[in-house]
Structures are given as C-alpha cells and as structure tokens.
Amino acid sequence: MAKNTKDKVTLKDFPRNYWVVIMFEFFERGSYYGMMSFLSVYLVSDLDFSKESVGLIKSTIQPLLYFLPILSGAIADRMGYRKTLMVAFSLLGIGYFLTSQTTEFLGVFLSLIIMGFGAGAFKPVISGTIAKVTDERTSTLGFGIFYWTINLGAFLFPLILVPILKNIDPTYAILASAICTGAMLIPTIFLFKEPEREEHAKEPLGKTLVGILDKVWMVILDWRFILFIIIYSWFWILYFQMFDSVLWYVQAFVDPSDLNSFVNNLFGTNWTESVFGGLWSFDVEHVTVINAMTIIILQLFISNIVKNTKALPTMIVGISLGTIGMAILAINNNIWVFMVGIIVFSIGEMTAHPKFISYLGRIAPQDKKATYMGFGFLYGFFGSLIGGILGAFLYVLYIDNPMISFIRVKAAELSPSTVIPSDIQINEALKIAESIGLSRAEVSTYASTTELWLIFSSIGVICILGLLAYQKFIGARD
C-alpha cells in the first residue's frame, strides 16, 4: 500500500520550471489559436484580400511552425533556453502587433512570418524543458497536462477573449495576442530557470545544423517512411480547412440563430451579458472552440477505448470519422448539423493521430528510430502546405465563382449598364447584386456547397485507400 502511494504521481511532483513553461504554453497557444480562429475571415472581409491570397499566406506560415523547430531546437541547445524564449516571445509579440496594424498584403504576410519564426523558436524549448524536468515516473502525466493546456488555450481564448474584443474591433483581438505573448518576457526573465545543457550542446552550431540537414535528407530519401507520412497528410488537409474554408462557409451560409437562442436561454441573459457584454452569438471563432472542447471532454475516453487496438485499423476508423464529419457539412447549413459535423471530425482526429505516432515507430528503422520519430511532424508540414492553397482554390471554384456568374447574368438582364470587373471578389459582387434587386439568399442558392464538402470528403477517402494500399503492398518493417 505504501509503495502504491509512493508511486502515485501528483501535481506536487513537478518543479516550478514545469509550471512556468505550462503557463507559457497556455498563453502562446491561446494567442495563436485565438488569432487563427478568425484570421482568414478578417483578411477577406475587413482587409479585402482575395481568398487565394489568404490561402497563399496560410500555406506559407503554417508549414513554418512544423519545420522550424528541428533547427531552432539545436539553436536553443547552444544559445540557452532562456535566451531562445526571449527571442521567441519578442518575435511573437512583434509579429502579432504588426499584423494588427498593417492592412496591405505584403505587410501582413511579413508580419505573420515574423510570428511564425517566433512560434517555431518557442515550440522545442517548451517540450525540451518538460523532457528535462520530468522523469520516467512523471513524464506521462507531465506531457498529458502539456497537451491538455494546448487545447485549453485553444478553447478559452476564442470562446471569451476573441468575441469580446472582435466586437469592438477585430484588430484588438490580434493585439491581445501580441500582449499575451510579449508579456511572457517578464516571467521568462524572473521565473524561468535555465535547464542543464546536454553534452552535445558544446558542439559547434554550424556542425550541428549540417548534421540536422543530413538527417532531413536521409529521412526524405527513405521512401517507405516519407510515403506513409505523405499519405497521412491528406487527412490533415481536411484539418486545416477548419481555419479557412470552413470559416468562410460559416460566415456566408450558416444561420446560428437557433443555437444563439438555446445558449442564451440556457445560461440566462444576465450571465451572458456579464461575461460577453451582451447576448451570446455564435461566430466563426467558435469553430475552434468546438474542436478544442470536443478534445478536452473526450480525449481520455477515446484514448482508453483505443489504447490496446491495432494502429492502422484504428487510424482508418479515425480518418473515416473525420471524413464522415466533413461529409455531414454537405447535408445542409443548419447550425446543429454543422456542429455535429465538426464534433465527429474532432473525434476522428483524436482517434487517428495517436495511432499514427504508434505506426510510425514500426516503419522507422530500429537503429534510427529516435531520429526518424523526430520527423513525424512532417504530416503537418505537408498538410498545411497543400491545405491552405487547395482549400481557397476549391472554395472560390465551387462557392464564389458560381454566385458571381449568376450575378453577371442577372446584371446583364436587369441593369445592362452595370460593369462587373473580371477579377471581382464575392463581397463586391454581392453589393452589386443588392443594388440591382437580388437578395443574398437568392444568390446563395447557386453556390455548390454540397459539392465542396463532398470533394473534401473524397480527400479523406483517398487517404484511407492510400493507407490500405500501403499496408497491403509495403507494410511496417516488423
């Protein structure tokens, strides 16, 4: 009995440095997901960027967050974690601040790249610190709290902070991200304790970076390993739509009035007014809230169900659920149907991904497993690299262009003198439609929303078929 008590891990078993970096993670991830939860809509609706240009921004910024840590981790080992954190939080604060203040494409693009470099420098320091301050007994709970903190930030910031500030001015919500990350410089200086450096940290940085690039090349040349990651990354093309095409769809087509009435009646107007400054209203940022809330509530339950199941079949079940979730969006634009689709997708995501890590370990060569597993993040690199551009292209092709074509035809009939430029964006086209007596509801009927979500669902099906083919013709090394 005494032994069980001794082996039981409690929160008191973690040193101060652990809780300091957990705080860092909460504010950094909350700031990131807070901004990303509405950024694509802000850039299109407020700054009049084309959706294609937003897709280009996203397909540049997001891959940085997945690739930079392999380089910044080596730099942090030599420069020191505290100095690296100071650089990271400075870049994050500056990047978010400039994003909130700039309105031209190049300015926003460069500002977000600054933010991306900051996030890329930040990531390996946090996971590295947790690895250093935990041991075999405490690491499972330590990293469990770490992952839970990520979703807590992604849940609370878009739920509370973003709606309040966005209703005043959208730039305030982005400015809040700058403040929350920039303010972390203070605890970095006064609370964070530099962990003990590894012996390899004494190696010259140039030699280390060359060694890392050699490993990247080695992994890329291992076709068995990289092919599996590329196949799996097709599923993550769907995930990254949650921050682009799904948000545009919500803004344009989903009527949240039923959900708004339900929430306000459930909690009472006094409570919603005290928290949100008025009646609660569903908006695009709440897509991120649904995803994070589903994971927070169900992650332990799902993990217990699949902990003893085989990796690849479980992955396929998870990806199938994600694909079904995306297909549910094709049914109609009812808010409850939409929420079910996002929840089902989120369940699929949390089912598939842990087993991806497990299966990846079976593909990696036994004598290089640690090196290979360090490149498992490439699924996010490929998924975001393709997802941003592809999502914007398909949305314009199936949603915006059919509506613009209808407006052109009706304008020629009802107002021949009306000139519609060839490169007109949908927001301007809808203003012209209104001026010639066309309602938004009438124009919206020409958008091929069902086809759009079924095409995205087919990407999930391709991923499933690819994994089945991989298992049949290639399989794991063991």
Task: Tell me the average pLDDT of the chain.
Answer: 92
| Overall average pLDDT of the 149-177 stretch | 96
Does the structure show a pLDDT above 50 at 158?
A: yes
Does the structure show a pLDDT above 80 at 21?
A: yes
Does the structure show a pLDDT above 50 at 159?
A: yes
Q: How sure is the predictor about 343, in pLDDT bands with cuts at 50, 70 and 90?
A: very high
| Overall average pLDDT of the 288-312 stretch | 92
| Overall average pLDDT of the 434-452 stretch | 95
The position carrying tokens 């035809």 is 409
More confident residue, 446 or 198: 446
**Ordered domains of the chain (ranges, CATH):** 10-219 (1.20.1250.20), 222-478 (1.20.1250.20)
Does the structure show a pLDDT above 50 at 188?
A: yes
| Overall average pLDDT of the 142-166 stretch | 94
Predicted pLDDT of residue 379: 95
User: Hey, is 255 helix, strand or coil?
Assistant: strand
Q: How sure is the predictor about 364, in pLDDT bands with cuts at 50, 70 and 90?
A: confident
Separation CA 70–CA 93 (nearest Å): 22
HEC string of 427-439? HHHHHHHHHCCCC
Does the structure show a pLDDT above 50 at 2?
A: no
Looking at the DSSP bridge assignments, the partners of residue 42 are none
Whole-angstrom CA distances from 16 to 21, 122, 128 are 9, 19, 15
pLDDT digits (tens, 9 = 90+) for 92-139: 999 999 999 999 999 999 999 999 999 999 999 999 999 899 988 888
Predicted pLDDT of residue 250: 98
Predicted pLDDT of residue 202: 64
- 185 sits in the region (left: phi over 0; alpha: psi -120 to 50; else beta) called alpha
Q: State pTM to two decimals.
A: 0.94
Does the structure show a pLDDT above 50 at 7?
A: yes
More confident residue, 362 or 462: 462
| Overall average pLDDT of the 329-350 stretch | 97
Q: How sure is the predictor about 371, in pLDDT bands with cuts at 50, 70 and 90?
A: confident
Separation CA 195–CA 198 (nearest Å): 9
Q: How sure is the predictor about 344, in pLDDT bands with cuts at 50, 70 and 90?
A: very high
Q: How sure is the predictor about 478, in pLDDT bands with cuts at 50, 70 and 90?
A: low
Predicted pLDDT of residue 1: 42
Of 261, 284, 282, residue with least CA distance to 36: 284
Radius of gyration (Cα) for the chain, nearest Å? 24
Torsion sign over Cα 308, 314, 317, 323: positive
Of 351, 349, 43, 370, residue with least CA distance to 174: 43
Share of the chain above pLDDT 70, in %: 97
Separation CA 282–CA 259 (nearest Å): 7
Does the structure show a pLDDT above 70 at 4?
A: no
pLDDT digits (tens, 9 = 90+) for 241-254: 999 999 999 999 99
Looking at the DSSP bridge assignments, the partners of residue 334 are 255
